[in-house]
Amino acid sequence: MAQSNDSQNWDLEADVVVIGSGAAGLPAAIKAADGGASVIVVEANYDIGGHAIISGGNLPLGGGTSAQKKYGIPDSPDLVFSDLTDWTIVQNNGWPDYRYNDREVMRAFADHCALTYEFLLENGVEFKPIAPDNQGGHNLGNSAPRENHCFWTKGPGYESPNNRGGTGLIRPLENSARAKGVKFLVNYKMTSFVREGEKSGPLIGVTTAYTPRIMPGQSTPLKSFRSDGNIDSIKPAMAIRAKKAVIVATGGMTSNLNFRRMFDPRLTAVLTVAGEPYSFQDASGELAAMTIGASLWGLVNQTLENGDNIRTQRVLATKWNYMTWELEFPLFPLVRATGLAVKDWHDLILVNQVGKRFYDETKGDYPHGNVYKEVDPYTPNDYRNNENIHFHPTNYNFFNAAVAMNEYSQPPDYSAGPIWAIFDSEAVKRNKWNVEPPYVDPDGYFFSANTLTELATKIKNEFQAKSMKGETLQATVERYNSFVDAGKDADFGKPAPKCKIQTAPFYAAWATPNVHDTRSGLRINAKCQVMDMNGQVIPGLYCAGESAGGFNQHGLGRCTTQGFIAGTNAAREK
């Protein structure tokens, strides 16, 4: 609920209050501080970083960066804008990359992305000394390589929750923010916005609730790696006055089941989200802003099968299968298993909850989105570009097949249920997997048996609607083994199947897809000010990153750039 100022008592105050400490929140906080504002960052987690700190640390920033100039790569803000608004470009699954981007938002990004790259350098972020490329990039534009890669060496002040490249972005920005006087309030979640009037006037603050992370069997909350500059409090609730502005950088909405299903009803509870359980994209920023009249924007970019909005698992045998988790990860008691990384998809088959194959396991899991030279030759805004796009729609149907309703689907949502990887002991040897805890999670996400029929009856967890029938799984594997003998997959075209599944023990490992990006959110203008349902600015409210709509691109570039823009403008508020 929105609150008015009439009955609000303030516990803290700052010129600018930033909600979230990830790839958008930290640049916003630093730019606000650079502009002379006092800043408090509110973070619901025990440590800072959000999704960004456990990301790969890849930043799509172009427009004429010093890195592009160093390696002789021509680029400009005008070229970035042209690329990211080119209606003629589609992915190789046929879905458009840039057609529904908000032109005002894209112009602001194009004009600031090179500035943001230099800003990151100035605030301690180091990039690998290689030319910008396409690696890890999605929806970057066709005219120039723009993907940069953070460099990170673990050491004091740069501790990582899970040894990921995103640490090379987050820890330097955190260090810079603290050095510039930014204060951090961790373990507090924003619960509402406070306006001067009940439904009108400028935003003047936020309310928060204490949200400690306490591990099973422990009594004390987890602590952040760094505490200097943190605001110490264990009050159950805190109200914070924002004398200039509030910036929403809460990271999107894909962890909010009912919110995400507004865009795609297929996204049922069986699907986990990239980054969980370290951080959750809970739509808190969007919902709080909507309560005071904010509009959502760019909704089609969430519904389109674009880039890696949805992707196959990175690892097997753990519920949280976006990445291989480190044993030292502070939240490992929640994750429970590191997971098994797959080297060769010929070593297994994927089956649905009924026990039937549905897909060529070697195919790509998602369309990566247009990048440099994807379309060649390329003429900006020429409909004939489609003639130079190599369409491969069948390569990217994993998700459609995985969420298609099957005979075990049940009301009320008719979820297609989990996906299981089926393999044998020879596959374990080839991949050098350790199939004991803590590398696998036998409590619902990894099973073994000496026969396939026994294995099927063992597969049970909260998402498996009914027990898999042994005869169904046995028939599926026998048919697949016949394809190995024949050298041809007659069902789904897997090229020259190589490995039979025939040597006990047999295994079933969780292999269900992830929901990944948030690509729609609050409506913003070029200054990252949030707008209401009438297209009017809500005074004192800004938004950046995955909580903002109108921008179809994967990665940290839009987050850092919009944080840069929002922080700059928030500090200028009177």
* Consecutive 10-residue averages of pLDDT for the chain (574 residues): 63 98 98 98 96 95 98 98 97 92 98 98 97 94 97 84 92 97 97 89 97 91 91 95 98 96 93 92 97 96 84 86 90 94 94 94 82 94 90 75 83 91 98 97 98 97 94 98 98 96 98 92 98 97 97 95 98 96
> Quick check: helix, strand or coil at residue 429?
helix
CA 246, CA 191: separation in Å to the nearest integer? 13
Helix (H) or strand (E) holding 237: strand 237-248
The CATH T-level fold of domain 3-306+516-571 is: FAD/NAD(P)-binding domain (3.50.50)
DSSP string, 363-416: S-SS-----TTSSSS--TT-GGGGGG----GGGG-HHHHHTS--TT--TTTT--
CATH class of 312-515: alpha beta
CA 544, CA 560: separation in Å to the nearest integer? 8
Nearest to 543 by CA among 300, 298, 307, 294: 294
Q: In the chain, where does the domain assigned CATH 3.50.50.60 lie?
A: 3-306+516-571
Q: Cα–Cα distances in Å, from 289 out to 249, 362, 402?
A: 12, 43, 34
**CB 318, CB 339: distance < 8 Å:** yes
Q: Cα–Cα distances in Å, from 572 out to 509, 545, 569?
A: 53, 20, 5
Torsion of CA 317, 319, 320, 321, to 10 degrees: 40
CA 414, CA 51: separation in Å to the nearest integer? 30
The DSSP bridge partners found for residue 310 are 515
> Counting beta carbons within 10 angstroms of the beta carbon of residue 516, is it exposed (0 to 12), middle (13 to 18) or buried (19 or more)?
buried
CA 11, CA 239: separation in Å to the nearest integer? 5
Query: Buried (b) or exposed (e) across 540-572, using 16+ Cβ within 10 A?
Result: bbbbbbbbbbbbbbbbbbbbbbbbbbbbbbbbe
Residues 6+ apart with CB under 8 A from 66: 117, 118, 121
Q: What's the maximum distance between 2 C-alpha atoms anywhere in the chain? A: 77
**CB 53, CB 20: distance < 8 Å:** no
Q: In the chain, where does the domain assigned CATH 3.90.700.10 lie?
A: 312-515
Q: Cα(first)–Cα(last) distance of the chain, in Å?
A: 26
CA 327, CA 335: separation in Å to the nearest integer? 10
> Quick check: helix, strand or coil at residue 247?
strand
- Counting Cα atoms < 13 Å in the Cβ hemisphere of 113 gives 31
> Quick check: helix, strand or coil at residue 532?
strand
Residue 30 CA, distance from chain mean position: 23
CA 276, CA 56: separation in Å to the nearest integer? 15
Scan for tokens 């042209």, then name that residue: 82
